[in-house]
Structure 1
Amino acid sequence: MSLPLRLLLRQLACFVAVGVTATAMHWCLAVWLVEAWSLPAAAANLAGWVLAFGVSFAGHYTFTFRHAHTDWKRSAWRFFLISVSGFAVNELGYVGLLHTTALPYDLLLALLLVTQAGLTFLVSRLWAFRHSASVPPSQETPS
């Protein structure tokens, strides 16, 4: 197996492990807030996203994309933009589907989170954690 393929498979395995952890924490917190505190599902989803963002960025920066040697501030900014954009789409879809389908809120949330994960990997790999060869990592700025 070639080195680039091994690297990609390792990245995918790390992405799945970090993503499953962050998604599970997102889902568990959101469901707990709805069930234990009677928080509206959309508000609980926001709280879950905030927790998952921290877990996800730390895990992806430390494990999934560690070989990229990117400036953490630039990567954090880019990952935040990806995450907040994904959350906005997720939340709009979630609220719309909560009102237009008979699916239980917890199942609907799980389906949306899994769908979003694949898109997040692609954009993270191609942009958020991409190393800029022309600028030393210590001199990179958010863009």
Structure 2
Amino acid sequence: MGVPGQLLRFGVVGICAMAVHYVVVTSLLRFVAVPGRPAVLHANVLGFLCAFPVSYLGHRHATFAATGVPHHLAMRRFFATAVLGFLVNEGLLALLVTATRLDYRAALVIVLGTVAALTFVLARCWAFAAGQAP
């Protein structure tokens, strides 16, 4: 599968996962927690955990289905990729909501888009890359 096809599929799966992440965070802050900087970061953890299965399963079965990497290996690698992405996500989100006047929703969109690019490269070149040693 070529890069353009993968990018398209990656984008569709990523938008679905990002929507889950965004809805979880904004719903928690609207209906459960008092909006504030620490609450945003805590809600972001739950958003990540809810979006991860959507992301992994979508990428496993749509974006990188043809690679043939065994599930157990792809899952471990993609989880490591996702955790790294989340750490970048959380750090950048913390920076944006504490050091700027951006609304947390705008900051979250910026962060999720930035981390998506990192995730694609790591997923394509490592997590779902066939022919590499575990």
TM-score (norm 2): 0.92
Paired letter, 2:117: G
**2:7 corresponds to:** 12
Q: What SS does structure 2 have at the residue aligned with 1:85? A: helix
1:38 paired with 2:19, answer no
Structure 1: distance between partners of 2:93 and 2:117: 17
Question: Once the two structures are aligned, what percentage of the paired residues are identical?
Answer: 34
**Deviations 1:64-97 (CA, angstroms, capped at 9, x unpaired):** 0001011011011011111101111111121122
Provide the C-alpha distance between the structure 2 equivalents of 1:81 and 1:87, rounded to a whole number of angstroms. 10
* Structure 2 CA distance for aligned equivalents of residues 19 and 118 of structure 1: 10
* Structure 2: unaligned runs, 5 residues or longer: none
- SS at structure 2 position matched to 1:61: helix
Find out whether 1:90 has 2:85 as its counterpart. Answer: no
State which of 20, 23, 29 in structure 2 corresponds to 1:25.
20
Q: Distance in 1 between matches of 2:84 and 2:121?
A: 14
Q: Which moved more, 1:37-46 or 1:105-114?
A: 37-46
1:77 counterpart residue number: 76
The answer for unaligned runs of 5 or more in structure 1 is 134-139
8 Å contact from structure 2 (residues 88, 115) kept in 1: no
Letter in 2 for 1:46: V
* TM-score where L is the length of structure 1: 0.86
Partner of residue 100, structure 1:
99
Query: Distance between the aligned counterparts of 1:9 and 1:89, measured in 2?
Result: 25
How many pairs are equivalent?
Answer: 130
Which residue of 2 is the match for residue 136 of structure 1?
none
User: C-alpha separation between the residues in 2 aligned to 1:50 and 1:44?
Assistant: 10
Higher gyration radius (CA): 1
